[in-house]
Amino acid sequence: MSRRPVIHKSNPATLESLGEVECVLPEEVPQMVDSARQAQAAWGGEPPVKRSQLLRKVQSGLADRTDEFAELVSRETGKPFMESLATDVMNALSVGDFAASRVEHVFRESKVDFGPLSSMMRYMGRSSHLIPRPLGVIGIIAPWNYPLAIPYSQVMMALAAGNGVVLKPSSHTPLTAVQMAGLFKEAGLPDGLLQLAVGSGSKVGEALATSDVDRIIFTGHAEVGRRIMTLASQRLIPITLELGGKDAMIILKDADLRRAARAACWGAFVNSGQTCVAVKRIYVDEAVESKFTSYLLKEVSTLKQGFDLNDPTISLGSMISERAVIDMEAQLANAVEQGAKVLAGGKRPQLKGYFFQPTVLRAEQHMDIARKETFGPIVSLMSFRSEEEAVALANDSPFALNGSVWTSDMEKGREIATRLRSGTITVNNVAYTYGLGATPWGGRGDSGFGRTHGDGGFEELIERQHVHLDRGKFSSEIWWPPYGKEGLEAMHDFTGLAFNGERDGLLQKLLKARRLMRR
């Protein structure tokens, strides 16, 4: 067997060493899937209420250690403690609470409504039932930007649905994953049900994508998502993809501009812009563009950048790596070359780690900075003259994950929201509904497909087996052999009665069919 590699983890904001985690080998992944499947056989057969009770113990464990987890997330990602607490720990608890409380509802059987055929099916003593059951083993490939919130919520949903899980966390944040897995073990989760596959995406992640799991949930960049989808398709494994974003913020002239500016500042620069639903494109009615821009720049100027867990005034942390900073520098240089104007930021601050200033640009729709994914603290300001133009500009993107509309007219805001392509649109708020466990999460286009969270997320973690019951009132069917003229006539009559509304000679036709079915 190959020698096990080790991930050495440092704080990207201070460059101090945090520890190391031993990786699994790609060839070990199939056995991990098998172990999870063996444990799932018993777990999936447990009553939903029993699964819920155990997951609530996990929730209690996390709730008792919120500061401990928030501190670890901050050290691994370089984000401020406030953000780790609000966007990682609290989001994790919120979705976990939904998963544990909703599972009994999800596993209720339902009866099929046959519509126009209902009366006929009742007469024949037949009914169809949908019986929910777990898929089996879910492979989760999680990102580094929310190393607790994303994997924890997805694991909780999968376990609540009665599945086993093999989790491949990001190599940037293995320590949070290890500590998170410990929560489940301490709560008494059956051995083997949750497997932690630490390792590189190109090796361990791809091994998971080609394994015998029953669904893959991948969160990350679009190009990697395409690669995972290609691998999973070879085994016909269904996949849920939550990929990148280029979220648009539409600000109408009747909006509360001060509040919108504060929201834009948070939405664009939370987690140093390393968020799939970070605000990247701000479209402002040209009548209020100058005023809004002034408000926004004032908000940005108040952001304190750095890393100190004892300083609650720090609002902007580091990026995840040196490569991420270099990418921001390259995108900014390209934007300026294409004609964008830098209104704020645009440089590395004089700090030790991997930092980049919060940057505001005046850009145009055709520029790369307004069209390609930007995973960092750069936001582009653009203007529009009409609501129709604003909708067209916002929809003019391959990404469609999230977005927002800002107006004092709620009906208008709702109407505009329904015309936008993204999976979630908020009116007068930004980028926070991931933490609402009851709401679905996902997009379309280059933002992926499928949903996590909400009842829609549960539907991707279970299958509803169809069971059809026939009480055997009749000894034959019209369409069973031996075929003959009388049967053919009865089949025509049946089709007319069922689908064409033909009621002439109804009683005679029914008696003929009944006679044939009792032969």
Give the active site residues: 242, 276
Exposure class string for 478-498: b at 16+ Cβ within 10 A, else e: beeeeeeeebeebeebbeebe
Nearest to 144 by CA among 166, 175, 182, 165: 175
- For CA atoms 177, 183, 186, 190, the dihedral sign is negative
Torsion of CA 29, 455, 178, 59, to 10 degrees: -140
3-state secondary structure of 178: helix
What are the Cα distances from residue 133, in Å, to 21, 227, 360, 459, 461?
Answer: 35, 29, 49, 10, 9
Q: What angle do CA 402, 408, 412 make, to 5 degrees?
A: 65
Supply 385's token pair.
């003259």
Q: Which residues contact 508 (CB under 8 A, 6 or more apart)?
A: none
- Chain-centroid distance of CA 390 in Å reads 26
Question: How many other C-beta atoms are found inside a 10 Å radius of the C-beta of residue 455?
Answer: 14
**Using CA atoms, how far apart are residues 333 and 347, in angstroms rounded to an integer?**
11
**Using CA atoms, how far apart are residues 7 and 16, in angstroms rounded to an integer?**
14
Nearest to 249 by CA among 275, 273, 299, 283: 283
**Using CA atoms, how far apart are residues 220 and 302, in angstroms rounded to an integer?**
31
